[in-house]
Structure 1
């Protein structure tokens, strides 16, 4: 049976077979940051507040650089559909080049992050601790982005299980690294937030090494690192053109959440700590939608490479439905068991525990509101990237996040005096606006144009 004749249940099974390892890989990757947050939360509330800001700053830059890595996924999927092995290699190599260039450009921002955070209104102690973390974490940027490029290459070829297992191994090692380096076990000194940063760098390195080892062993025909030093400017430009709008779209969204962390910092250490925990929980749910979005990108890329419009449309509906089901399950969890979820991040003897839990429970109730729209907007982005439509979606997302979301967060949180819940309601509006605009883009313009192109080909 060809892809053109797949039924919706067939699409659902195919998406689940491809997407579940990607979901698991994203969740395992998320656990690297989650274990940092939980263990630092046990170490101290002030360190947790600093780590919240440091993670926001690091991942703001990381996701900007991730644009070229994620561009590899639709390109490789499209080239694989055409059986063009040479272009698979060329695109992946140049994405690695672009990632290394980005790492060099981002290093000064991470190194001098303390003064930047103080300019944004953060306290001296929080800014200093965040800078300590980021000066170490910058050495993990190159392996983290390199790993993402190789993972996107493997996922585009539908080698998704290895992505899952390598990332699971790295997440497990990160727990051990944190236990040793944060708290000073096995004869090591207790390094606190420095230990969390070192553990993350080591973990990113292990992930990269595992993915490269698999690629060299199982896909030797691509020879990704043979004569790696040789430039390929034509493909360099191609990957950059597709990747920079993805990176800026990532930046728009992650900066929205980083900006919300700054706003919560203005409200005090307790609201900021509660925000950090709630963001971690909401991000865990988002990883499910991200994995489904990646599956949508791969399958849309294959449909694009074959010129199969029916496969593209059915696949998009299927992924949206699966994302909606995942959202409803998350809503139930956030509304029925918020206190144990928030409390798991905190030392039982922390004097601020009760206040942080109370604030976090309220924020999770608001987070339940944006699950459906958050899933819908990231799946829409995934499908659009699969057909290499990235520039207009970039502008749509930027408008939704910053033209709607951030002004609403300021208005509800400070002008109306609703505090932390008001800031989060602003996030809900921004994500909802993005979902509406991006879905309208796909169903109203991109898909009809693809139908017309496929019909005349």
Structure 2
């Protein structure tokens, strides 16, 4: 418990700060009007789904590095190989993502979004896409530093990113201290600057931190390790697809909201931001669980595997009980962070957001459970079947229920949110069963080594 919390705490803090980085854009742009907020929301949906999928792809370095450290505490060369190939992969994946984002307006028009909102979103993405490679490369450096026993640096870098994002938005969205007022485009520029600053900060940390410097992570940068790249793709592609299925479900919910009305899109954006902030705690626990279980997997210690997984699940799900209670007790308090709940002009927006948060409170437990369950299974280097579970749960159960309840039953936005809850519930139940049946399914190491 102590070891897991010690590793998870700075990762949770880093995740919360990272959500702050993304929330800053929404908070500032919300002051520009509903149309600009809707454009920023849809743009961030597209960007975050693709960027987080690519971060999941390269994040396969975490279980590989953890397993190497479990086998040998001083696996310098093996760690360096995993890091180097993950960084190569980050650049390639980032270029592909940028090409997709460059066609953002066309994609939104194909999704039957409002043409004016689609045009504004396209202009936003044309700038924001330049943040992709720095963001994915930062993801590689972050998981590497955490696996090597320096998770606190992630918190420091994200705090730097949050400060940079606040300053950049303040200067460029409304035009302060002599800078031009660029509105939505100014927020995108601030995001690019923020991502680049975080990447450079992590490069400096990996080069200067005494414990990390000994791995010479940037050494032999030109040398290929095709077998290690294959391992990253074998584990990382299912992780990327899993994150895509989940993120795309929430993005699709946003697009479905767009078929109902602009106010629904804005209310969905606010409620989803609040739920996503709470989700960062079990997500950080899941990241720690991947490393802890991965080290136990490399050491061949089945008892350690079981304890690391069980503790992570208790911590992650337990916290979501707390957050669900808060969302039920004081939803207007959280909505008030984004808009003035006492302003008559916001009455419809606030009422919808409060309704959606009531559903969010219900699925908090399932969201935390599926996140940590996926994390512990990744520590066992089990990613392919969880990917299929995510595809079924999110897109057969979740999307199917969202469409049926939202449009077939006429529940509109509330029905879409209950569909999201159904998808999360299905995935969490199936992943928890797979973890509990890990021995019968042959997911554990064949030999046991005491360390």
Normalised TM-score (structure 1): 0.95
- The answer as to 2:131 corresponding to 1:131 is no
- The answer as to 2:27 corresponding to 1:38 is yes
1:100 Cα offset (Å): 0.7
**In angstroms, what is the RMSD of aligned CA positions?**
1.6
Kindly report which structure 2 residues correspond to 1:436-447, keeping only aligned pairs within 5 A, or say none: 436-445=429-438
Give secondary structure in 2 for the equivalent of 1:138. helix
Partners of 1:447 and 1:41 in 2: CA distance: 51
Check conservation: 2:282, 2:317, Cα contact below 8 A: no
1:15 — aligned with what? 4
Partners of 2:439 and 2:41 in 1: CA distance: 38
Kindly report which structure 2 residues correspond to 1:351-366, keeping only aligned pairs within 5 A, or say none: 352-366=345-359
Partners of 1:15 and 1:452 in 2: CA distance: 21
1:109 — aligned with what? 100
1:148 — aligned with what? 139
- Aligned residue among 311, 314, 317 for 1:318: 311
- Aligned residue among 16, 21, 26 for 2:15: 26
Partners of 2:292 and 2:78 in 1: CA distance: 18
Check conservation: 1:64, 1:247, Cα contact below 8 A: yes
Partners of 2:301 and 2:148 in 1: CA distance: 18
Kindly report which structure 2 residues correspond to 1:211-290, keeping only aligned pairs within 5 A, or say none: 211-218=202-209, 219-290=212-283
1:5 — aligned with what? none
> Gapped runs of 5+ residues in structure 2?
none
Check conservation: 2:380, 2:444, Cα contact below 8 A: no
1:446 Cα offset (Å): 5.0
Give secondary structure in 1 for the equivalent of 2:180. coil
Partners of 1:71 and 1:444 in 2: CA distance: 23
Check conservation: 2:309, 2:376, Cα contact below 8 A: yes
Check conservation: 1:140, 1:201, Cα contact below 8 A: yes
Partners of 1:106 and 1:173 in 2: CA distance: 24
Check conservation: 2:63, 2:294, Cα contact below 8 A: yes
Check conservation: 2:406, 2:414, Cα contact below 8 A: yes
Partners of 2:245 and 2:219 in 1: CA distance: 36
1:301 — aligned with what? 294
1:352–1:229 Cα change, 3 Å? farther
Partners of 1:331 and 1:150 in 2: CA distance: 32
- Aligned residue among 75, 83, 89 for 1:92: 83
Check conservation: 1:45, 1:350, Cα contact below 8 A: no
- Aligned residue among 362, 366, 374 for 1:381: 374
Partners of 1:452 and 1:91 in 2: CA distance: 21
1:417 — aligned with what? 410
Report which stretch shifted further, 104-113 or 251-260: 104-113
Partners of 1:452 and 1:105 in 2: CA distance: 36
Partners of 2:444 and 2:45 in 1: CA distance: 40
Report which stretch shifted further, 338-347 or 430-439: 338-347
2:184 — aligned with what? 193
Number of residue pairs aligned between Structure 1 and Structure 2: 446
Check conservation: 2:300, 2:449, Cα contact below 8 A: no
Partners of 1:315 and 1:287 in 2: CA distance: 19
1:106 Cα offset (Å): 1.8
Partners of 1:37 and 1:123 in 2: CA distance: 19
> Gapped runs of 5+ residues in structure 1?
1-11
- Aligned residue among 33, 46, 70 for 1:57: 46
1:104 Cα offset (Å): 1.4
Partners of 2:199 and 2:338 in 1: CA distance: 28
Partners of 2:444 and 2:176 in 1: CA distance: 61
Partners of 2:132 and 2:439 in 1: CA distance: 34
Kindly report which structure 2 residues correspond to 1:396-435, keeping only aligned pairs within 5 A, or say none: 396-435=389-428
1:76 — aligned with what? 65
1:352–1:54 Cα change, 3 Å? farther
1:316 Cα offset (Å): 1.3
Check conservation: 2:341, 2:350, Cα contact below 8 A: no
Normalised TM-score (structure 2): 0.96
